């Protein structure tokens, strides 16, 4: 077995070095087979689990490479100006190939001037009548999609009430067995020209990834349609044809260049050079906060430019306006549910329709790059979240692998650290979690969410200063009301972080239960209550509560009375019998009789010191003892 493992591992290393995903996958599968759990050896089990994860990662990356390769191939086809009918059929075929969950894909085109739409290309359809279906504008999903110019999907087409049905279309879909359908609009020069569909023969929901991928193919189909329309005007003068061909080649080259950037995983700012080469002028790239990320000239923005960006958002495409020095062309970079920034070009000449569409396609690629980078950030945050969970759950010394994981991500556990628990309103927790993940990364720590609570572990010897910094970041800069509690400093590699976080979490829960306003505190400041939130001291609290209240609890249990509730209200109302009775909704004589019964159980001196103080403290601690719901509250 050892010889087989060595040979397979060697092939795996060679395949990784050559970036051969097929070879990597085969080697991983062989490694999994060799490591089938016939032994209790934990090392072999760990290697096998790692191999399984590598196989899953390889499968995911193969799928992504397949999607991007298909998009790139279609872009190359467009650049080569192949037959538009062939291109549309290739797009439908490629879309069905990279969306394996789709049983069928088909493309519906608008017939100019007739108000009808017809099936132009398809893959996976069983019913031959489908290719002869004609849908009138305003009916079926196409009517709704043309109206909103946005993607639309339904789990059950024939039963959906979100659009007006066409009986012929419903019958044709039913005969083909298609039920769930996703449609993406193809928009040319601001006008819907057709819809690209993906359909299944079972009821299901479509994922955001599937919508995004099909959107890219719809965009490529739009380019193909636009190309076809461009070539339909061959009767124009030779000069006009030459100009259009040049613009088309520039657009295709730009799309190919931008697609290559996507495949190579480039940075968003890398798009400036290819766009500037095709669309001359002063180009600015803005992020989701409307900050200028990069520019090839002046980087300032006017109020008119920001208003034009908002106009582009509403229009869903590029918007041009004259300026004192020429023209300003803007396209908002957005997906269906999010705004990611904008491309702004200031030039001395207007854009042709094709150049405007080219600018819009560039915006789509920037959005794709943005989503790609966000996915990488989310993946890194997930790894850091897993490490945070490990750090706060481990009660023994960290393994060498964990230390290496921390070091590789700049997490400094060589110094002493403080564990911080943060209580924020539920609706602000997501924002606080992301803010603390970024804050911790900047300060060589780790932060995020742990068991429903925002948590941070930071290198520090001063808990108060650290808690104050975290509180300021959340409340002053982000305006998130937060109760921040920091633990005592502990060694970050010994497993003591887990107990330190339990202290901080319980401390924050206690303060929240007491109605404390948002502030920064440390567990040291609440040392009086340490028996509540220090792990391992629960037995001390139990012993104290049993000594102080045990006889009353037993009496209440045996006689179905409320002596403990009565003396708690009695102390809360400063020994005033009348107020106590009103708070308990009983007669004052009832309170007097209950207090006499307390004296029978505890002795006549129960209201004298130190007995009264001991009872008051016991009643307070009883409300916040370990096991109370406050420890598990959000």
Q: Buried (b) or exposed (e) across 585-610, using 16+ Cβ within 10 A?
A: ebeeebbeebbebbeeebeeebbeee
DSSP-assigned letter for residue 477:
I
**What does the pLDDT read at residue 467?**
92
| Matching residue, tokens 């481990």 | 394
Closest by CA to 295, choosing from 330, 250, 344, is: 344
Q: Which two structure tokens, joined as six digits, stand for 70?
A: 């298909």
Cα 32 to Cα 55: distance, rounded to the nearest angstrom: 9
Give, in degrees to the nearest 5, the angle at Cα 76 between 73 and 79: 155
Cα 453 to Cα 472: distance, rounded to the nearest angstrom: 19
Ramachandran class of 326: left when φ > 0, alpha when ψ lies in -120 to 50, beta otherwise: left
In this prediction the pTM is 0.39
Q: Which residues of the chain have pLDDT under 50?
A: 38-40, 61, 65, 70-72, 79, 81, 234-235, 237-239, 241, 626-634
**What does the pLDDT read at residue 141?**
92
**What does the pLDDT read at residue 562?**
92
In SS3 terms, 290-332 reads as CCEEEECCCCCCCHHHHHHHHHHHHHCCCEEEEECCEEEEEEE
Q: Which two structure tokens, joined as six digits, stand for 2?
A: 């050892």
Cα 102 to Cα 93: distance, rounded to the nearest angstrom: 11
Cα 570 to Cα 562: distance, rounded to the nearest angstrom: 12
**What does the pLDDT read at residue 471?**
92
**What does the pLDDT read at residue 203?**
92
């Amino acid at each position: 077995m050892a010889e087989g493992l060595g040979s397979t591992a060697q092939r795996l290393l060679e395949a990784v070095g050559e970036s051969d995903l097929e070879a990597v996958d085969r080697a991983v599968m062989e490694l999994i087979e060799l490591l089938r759990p016939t032994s209790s050896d934990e090392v072999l089990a760990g290697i096998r689990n790692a191999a399984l994860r590598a196989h899953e990662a390889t499968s995911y990356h193969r799928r992504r490479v397949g999607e991007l390769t298909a998009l790139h191939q279609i872009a190359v086809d467009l650049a080569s100006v192949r037959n538009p009918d062939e291109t549309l059929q290739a797009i439908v075929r490629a879309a069905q190939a990279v969306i394996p969950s789709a049983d069928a894909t088909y493309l519906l085109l608008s017939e100019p001037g007739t108000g009808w739409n017809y099936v132009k290309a398809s893959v996976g359809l069983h019913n031959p009548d489908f290719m002869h279906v004609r849908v009138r504008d305003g009916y079926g999903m196409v009517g709704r999609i043309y109206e909103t110019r946005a993607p639309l999907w339904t789990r059950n087409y024939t039963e959906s009430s979100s659009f007006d049905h066409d009986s012929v279309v419903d019958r044709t879909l039913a005969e083909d067995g298609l039920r769930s359908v996703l449609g993406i609009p193809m928009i040319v020069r601001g006008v819907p020209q057709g819809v690209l569909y993906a359909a299944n023969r079972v009821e299901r929901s479509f994922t955001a990834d599937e919508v995004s991928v099909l959107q890219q193919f719809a965009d490529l189909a739009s380019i193909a349609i636009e190309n076809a329309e461009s070539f339909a005007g061959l009767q124009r003068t030779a000069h006009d044809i030459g100009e259009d061909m040049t613009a088309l080649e520039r657009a295709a080259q730009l799309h190919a260049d931008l697609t290559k950037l996507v495949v190579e995983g480039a940075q968003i700012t890398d798009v400036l050079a290819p766009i500037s080469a095709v669309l001359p002028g002063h180009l600015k790239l803005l992020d989701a906060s409307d900050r200028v990320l990069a520019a090839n000239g002046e980087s300032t923005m006017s109020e008119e430019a920001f208003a034009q960006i908002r106009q582009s958002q509403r229009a869903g495409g590029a918007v041009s306006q004259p300026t004192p020095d020429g023209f300003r062309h803007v396209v908002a970079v957005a997906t269906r549910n999010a705004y990611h920034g904008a491309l702004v070009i200031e030039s001395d000449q207007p854009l042709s329709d094709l150049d405007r569409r080219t600018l819009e396609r560039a915006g789509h690629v920037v959005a794709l790059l943005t989503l790609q980078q966000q996915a990488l950030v989310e993946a890194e945050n997930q790894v850091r979240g897993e490490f945070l969970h490990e750090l706060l759950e481990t009660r023994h010394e960290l393994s060498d692998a964990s230390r290496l994981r921390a070091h590789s991500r700049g997490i400094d556990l060589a110094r002493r650290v403080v564990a911080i628990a943060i209580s924020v309103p539920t609706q602000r927790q997501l924002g606080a979690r992301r803010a603390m993940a970024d804050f911790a990364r900047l300060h060589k720590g780790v932060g995020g969410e742990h068991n429903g609570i925002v948590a941070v572990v930071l290198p520090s010897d001063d808990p108060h200063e650290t808690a104050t910094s975290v509180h300021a970041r959340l409340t002053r800069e982000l305006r998130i009301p937060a109760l921040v509690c920091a633990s005592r400093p502990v060694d970050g590699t010994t497993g003591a972080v887990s107990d330190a976080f339990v202290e901080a979490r319980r401390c924050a829960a206690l303060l929240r239960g007491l109605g404390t306003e948002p502030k920064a505190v440390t567990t040291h400041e609440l040392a009086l209550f340490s028996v509540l939130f220090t792990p391992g001291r629960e037995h001390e609290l139990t012993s104290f509560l049993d000594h102080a209240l045990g006889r009353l609890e037993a009496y209440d249990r045996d006689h179905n009375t409320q002596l403990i509730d009565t003396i708690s209200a009695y102390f809360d109302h400063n020994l005033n019998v009348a107020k106590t009775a009103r708070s308990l909704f009983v007669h004052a004589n009832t309170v007097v009789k209950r207090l006499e019964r307390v004296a029978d159980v505890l002795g006549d001196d129960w209201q004298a010191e130190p007995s009264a103080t001991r009872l008051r403290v016991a009643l307070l601690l009883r409300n916040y003892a370990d096991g109370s719901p406050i420890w598990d509250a959000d």
